[in-house]
Structure 1
């Protein structure tokens, strides 16, 4: 019997896992003897004997409508569908941004004496704002891959397994990290440079699958899949998914938002493994509720044939917007904050002002200590922003907060001199005491590593 060959256009193939599920499902159906899907072309080529196979027969194999087969070339994305997805994504991003920059984070200000309820509320706000932007983008990207590994008739509860394990991984890691911070304090911390690198890298990596989810086939060629012979079976793939999800949850400790930095600071100050553990436990529990709701909603909408296409495009746009949000929060790409002169070099004027301030306040310092003062406002950030101190000198830095900081810039710290992020709350002075042991230039930053000033130690 002569072997026949045919190629179909496929819609909904956004990731390597989608490619694998299509090939395996077609082969298991017995209708074809060979199946080769191409993400770059958006097609699947099959070989078979006997009667011709229609696109309708292939569509019947995927009753949830996740993948659609056609005999005709792929059509362009529906403009109406893209506009709906864009509107939903902008509303969600606007909500997250509003919460991030509203100053609400300062209401449940936390420290080592904070109640467990306050820590939970602080985590809840984090899960609805800047932490949501960091973790939700990753979660939405992973959800599309997780869903493709489960049978179409699997229950919603079964499909939620990866989300459950993802959050279990997060909770366990944050809790253990809190215990370590309370036990050994500042000897364990993630440098702002490292967290910046991780956040930017992850944000950039998420953009490619997001564009694939939007149906832009050009980016399908950048996906990497294992050779067929090296792939695990469908059943083995499903069994390993929860463990992979837990591992992804563990890795989120490497991309902390400003809220997380503040909670870690409270754990350091607790001076106790048990107290540090409880601080981070109740904080991460607060962040878990919004993330679990996001996971449930994405799984529910992605499993419904009537909403799966709109969900996929909305998720793609959200991932892109969250990625841009994260990079802006890190590098102030929109110039939302005035950081002129705070990148490290400073200006002669700001140095002179700081020097005069130091001289006037020196009499108020104890012994060899130098008292330096600056003023924080939302419009100008910290003024002055450049300071000179002597090596070996004890320094007491006071920040007069005239406004409540917003977003990433709601915290202040000095990596290398003062590693505990402090919240900028209107009317509440921030006091940072340290000894400048080594000469050099130390940047004054927010907890996310954005520079806002410098202390030159000579």
Structure 2
């Protein structure tokens, strides 16, 4: 046996490693392949009598946009400050657009059109990204096998495996999404621990967003295990009729920065229902290209796709930064509301010896989101909850140990503020935020 190494160009993420390893292994005389997006290399174990050059690898992998060269070609991974600067400008632009459109205040539920629409768009982009080469490989594997075993089957019969695959994918993403949400809920033991969880998830989301934007060298990338991806691909060789549906569901675990970022967001919701809905909408976004309906969209490659991927990466970073602010609110920091600006301050009215303050929970947050009261005088805090869903159905004031379930209609919280200062309040996930000022 002999070892041959080549420099590979055009990889984007861990999914590229899977594509390279599986396809290069089909070359005659190649017994093992190890690809590394981080190092920009592929290592081939070949028979002693086999000679391969970079042109042989180009011929096989050119359809995926990969090219190869001698390992002697230098491949230095350095920080490109101009690229980072451009990425920062893009992140700011996406933040302003997302804030203007109301996307940043969404909790994924049936009334959150803007937020779920953003998740759907991420799915559309993921469906035409290089990451989908892995999913496309699965589809090609079982469809070609079915066509070979049923050469006289009608078009509709040949479409059955594709339908099963996509149905399995939708059901699997919703089901596994619910489990992810349940996991997020189970480890949210307290408001403070929930804040820590949200910030931890946010940091991972920011890392994935940076990875999608290709703003830092690939050595900083987050990498899932490759063995699971290979096991899923191996399953595609089975002749069982239920395999396409199982494969569709198992694509939840394939490496893809888009999928991982949405999975992390689903985890941060701490709700099985919201997480399942989030993952289902994402899978729906990927469905058109996977079933061939979006053939025209799938033709996007090269620079156009790269720019679109960077925009999505910027959006993931914005979501991550927003979740940092959410977590900070849950930990009791008031500076977040002050930086974002207020919707006006409500001063109390004295009624029957109590300070009466009023606030409404809307789809955009708390109105007003700044409440002023005076110390040592009982407070009656009236909160009107409209059609409240998601995390907005709970209000927490961490430093005052107040947790209140908000029902539709009027809700009242009574307490006596004993210490002047600023107290952050928010929904249970920190998405809706405000400040209580005690004078």
Bin for the TM-score computed over the shorter chain = 0.5 to 0.7
SS in 2 for 1:311: helix
Which residue does the alignment assign to 1:396? Answer: 380
Deviation at 1:56, TM superposition (A): 3.2
The number of residue pairs the alignment matches comes to 371
Q: Taking structure 1 as reference, are residues 418 and 371 closer, same or farther at Cα in structure 2, changes over 3 Å only?
A: farther
Which residue does the alignment assign to 1:445? Answer: 426
Which residue does the alignment assign to 1:417? Answer: 402
Of 11, 15, 18, which aligns to 2:16? Answer: 18
Which residue does the alignment assign to 1:291? Answer: 282
Task: Give yes or no for contact 2:87–2:314 (8 Å, CA) kept in 1.
Answer: no
Partners of 1:226 and 1:153 in 2: CA distance: 21
Partners of 2:276 and 2:209 in 1: CA distance: 27
Of 295, 315, 318, which aligns to 1:321? Answer: 315
Which residue does the alignment assign to 2:174? Answer: 168
Which residue does the alignment assign to 2:53? Answer: 54
Task: Give yes or no for contact 1:165–1:245 (8 Å, CA) kept in 2.
Answer: no
1:379-405 CA-partner distances (Å, limit 9, x unpaired): 984141675566xxxx5313699xx9x
Task: Give yes or no for contact 2:202–2:319 (8 Å, CA) kept in 1.
Answer: no
Deviation at 1:289, TM superposition (A): 8.0
Task: Give yes or no for contact 2:3–2:44 (8 Å, CA) kept in 1.
Answer: yes
Task: Give yes or no for contact 1:15–1:223 (8 Å, CA) kept in 2.
Answer: no
1:237-296 CA-partner distances (Å, limit 9, x unpaired): 895662462898888654239xx8xxx9xxxxxxxxxxxxxxx69x976x6786345324
The reply on whether 1:256 has 2:269 as its aligned counterpart is: yes
Partners of 2:86 and 2:264 in 1: CA distance: 33
Task: Give yes or no for contact 2:396–2:428 (8 Å, CA) kept in 1.
Answer: no
Task: Give yes or no for contact 1:386–1:453 (8 Å, CA) kept in 2.
Answer: no
Which residue does the alignment assign to 1:128? Answer: 117
The reply on whether 1:36 has 2:49 as its aligned counterpart is: no
Task: Give yes or no for contact 2:206–2:321 (8 Å, CA) kept in 1.
Answer: no
RMSD: 6.2
SS in 1 for 2:25: helix
Deviation at 1:227, TM superposition (A): 8.1
Deviation at 1:42, TM superposition (A): 0.6
Partners of 1:301 and 1:336 in 2: CA distance: 44
1:286-313 CA-partner distances (Å, limit 9, x unpaired): x678634532477669995751664355
- Which residues of structure 1 form unaligned runs of 5+? 107-118, 182-187, 265-279, 343-349, 364-369, 424-429
Of 249, 256, 262, which aligns to 1:242? Answer: 249
SS in 2 for 1:148: helix
Partners of 1:91 and 1:455 in 2: CA distance: 32
Partners of 2:209 and 2:22 in 1: CA distance: 24
Q: Taking structure 1 as reference, are residues 42 and 102 closer, same or farther at Cα in structure 2, changes over 3 Å only?
A: closer
Q: How does 1:232-381 map to 2 (within 5 A)?
A: 232=231, 234-236=233-235, 242-243=249-250, 245=252, 254-256=267-269, 291-292=282-283, 294-296=285-287, 304=298, 306-307=300-301, 310-312=304-306, 314-328=308-322, 330-331=324-325, 337-338=337-338, 357=348, 360-363=350-353, 370-373=354-357, 381=369
Task: Give yes or no for contact 2:8–2:66 (8 Å, CA) kept in 1.
Answer: yes
Task: Give yes or no for contact 2:212–2:310 (8 Å, CA) kept in 1.
Answer: yes
Partners of 2:54 and 2:75 in 1: CA distance: 13
Of 98, 102, 120, which aligns to 1:100? Answer: 102
Q: Taking structure 1 as reference, are residues 294 and 39 closer, same or farther at Cα in structure 2, changes over 3 Å only?
A: same
Partners of 2:301 and 2:393 in 1: CA distance: 40
Partners of 1:143 and 1:314 in 2: CA distance: 9
Which residue does the alignment assign to 1:148? Answer: 134
Partners of 2:228 and 2:249 in 1: CA distance: 23
Task: Give yes or no for contact 2:90–2:314 (8 Å, CA) kept in 1.
Answer: no
Deviation at 1:84, TM superposition (A): 11
Which residue does the alignment assign to 2:372? Answer: 384
1:25-61 CA-partner distances (Å, limit 9, x unpaired): 2223224234332332211122434464233322333
Partners of 1:210 and 1:400 in 2: CA distance: 37
Partners of 1:140 and 1:76 in 2: CA distance: 26
SS in 2 for 1:232: helix
Task: Give yes or no for contact 2:337–2:434 (8 Å, CA) kept in 1.
Answer: no
Partners of 2:351 and 2:336 in 1: CA distance: 32
